[in-house]
């Protein structure tokens, strides 16, 4: 019986440092060509501690690479209409180049409606239906953040996907579903892709029966 292949730990930190350096150069070129720094706006509804911390981290990274960060904070009591209007104003603002809506939003806010208020050309997190369709068809556009990072790691480590069996655990709209679409759209090197819920009893068989076991879980420490 053939022994299972040895797993390889991918160093996302090294890849991210390279990407940050490239982004810094792109921001400098943008400043030179346009006369201003590129602007990334974040919309935060409420004061969830984890979300506040995450937005601060994004703000710091923007400053580090030469991107102007902008934060739109709405109270936790805000309704869908207020959040949608805030995003629409950013979509219409020519001085804003990218828009992020911090997930999750309070339960009274229709997150999908807020996402869809982002104009596709500024949907840098790849959360709109139009961006999802572009991912599914392998067309130009922004891809979902974490799935895009997974695909970048595959490229950085020259992972050969063709002939592999990739298993995606979970089906969230920001991780499980998009990574499945990106894997299927990776022609001509797309693997066989299986989607399974996190409650599946077959998960215990992953180390021996799957070529790319648990793309979103075992290899990258997240499910969705």
Respond yes or no: is residue 2 known to be catalytic: no
**Residue 222: inside a domain, yes or no?**
no
> Per residue in 58-85, pLDDT tens?
999 999 999 999 999 999 999 999 999 9
What stretches in the chain show pLDDT beneath 70? 1-7, 187, 198-224
Structural domain range at position 187: 135-209
pLDDT at residue 220, rounded to an integer? 39
Question: Which one is catalytic: 97, 102, 164, 177?
Answer: 102
Question: Which one is catalytic: 26, 58, 61, 93?
Answer: 58
**Residue 57: inside a domain, yes or no?**
yes
Question: 95 and 18 share a domain?
Answer: yes
- The CATH number of the domain holding residue 179 is 3.40.50.720
Respond yes or no: is residue 26 known to be catalytic: no
pLDDT at residue 11, rounded to an integer? 81
Query: What burial letters (b/e) apply to 183-219, b meaning 16+ CB within 10 Å?
Result: bbbbeeebbbbbebeeeeeebeebeeebebbbbbbbb
Question: 97 and 17 share a domain?
Answer: yes
**Residue 160: inside a domain, yes or no?**
yes
Question: 99 and 79 share a domain?
Answer: yes
Report the domain count for the chain: 2
3-state secondary structure 34-74: HCCCCEEEEEEECCCHHHHHHHHHHHHHHHHHCCEEEEEEE
Residues in the chain: 224
Question: 92 and 151 share a domain?
Answer: no
Question: 168 and 101 share a domain?
Answer: no
- The CATH number of the domain holding residue 16 is 3.40.50.10860
Question: 74 and 169 share a domain?
Answer: no
Respond yes or no: is residue 108 known to be catalytic: no
Question: Which one is catalytic: 97, 122, 123, 125?
Answer: 125
The pTM (predicted TM-score) of the whole model is 0.81
């Amino acid at each position: 019986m053939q022994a299972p292949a040895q797993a390889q730990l991918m160093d996302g930190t090294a890849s991210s440092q390279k990407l940050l350096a490239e982004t810094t150069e792109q921001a400098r070129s943008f400043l030179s060509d346009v006369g201003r720094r590129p602007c990334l706006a974040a919309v935060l509804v409420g004061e969830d501690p984890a979300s506040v911390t995450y937005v601060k981290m994004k703000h710091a990274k923007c400053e580090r690479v030469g991107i102007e960060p902008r934060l739109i904070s709405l109270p936790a009591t805000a309704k869908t209409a207020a959040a949608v209007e805030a995003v629409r104003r950013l979509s219409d603002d020519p001085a804003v180049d990218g828009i992020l809506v911090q997930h999750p939003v309070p339960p009274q806010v229709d997150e999908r409606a807020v996402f869809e208020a982002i104009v596709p050309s500024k949907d840098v997190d790849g959360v709109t239906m139009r961006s999802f369709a572009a991912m599914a068809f392998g067309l130009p556009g922004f891809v979902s953040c974490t799935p895009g990072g997974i695909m970048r790691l595959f490229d950085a480590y020259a992972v050969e996907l063709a002939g592999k069996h990739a298993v995606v655990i979970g089906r969230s709209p920001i991780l499980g579903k998009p990574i499945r679409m990106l894997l299927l759209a990776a022609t001509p090197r797309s693997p066989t892709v299986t989607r399974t819920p996190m409650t599946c009893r077959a998960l215990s068989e992953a180390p021996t029966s799957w070529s790319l076991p648990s793309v979103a879980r075992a290899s990258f420490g997240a499910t969705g």
